Amino acid sequence: MLIIDSKDCENIDKALKKYKKKFEKSKKLFEQNTRHPSLNTELLEPAWRGIYSFRLDKKYRAIFFIASDTAEIITFTNHFKK
């Protein structure tokens, strides 16, 4: 199950309006397989926090954590590359 955290609704609402199609596609893939290759799901540093991200497109990612077999999206961000 995928849940969007209401704490950051304004940011998420803006992102969903702009990237609704991309989010829906990524959400469907994520619900079928959290490690789907096109999502490029990754554990963020520091790993002990248990915060992950998956790709919406090359520029944006969804940041989430998993609790009780449920992924909860915290926010959407620009994807930082070194």
- Domain spans of the chain, in order of start: 2-77
The superfamily CATH assigns to domain 2-77 is: RelE-like (3.30.2310.20)
Q: Pairing relation of β-strands 60-67 and 70-78? A: antiparallel
CA-to-CA distance for 56 and 59, rounded, in angstroms? 8
| Per-residue confidence band for 1, with pLDDT thresholds at 50, 70 and 90 | very low
Residue 70 has a pLDDT of 86
Provide the whole-model pTM.
0.73
Which H or E run contains 71? strand 70-78
pLDDT at 7 over 60: no
| Per-residue confidence band for 54, with pLDDT thresholds at 50, 70 and 90 | very high
Question: What proportion of the chain, given as a percentage, has pLDDT over 70?
Answer: 77
Widest pairwise Cα distance in the chain: 32
Average pLDDT, the chain: 81
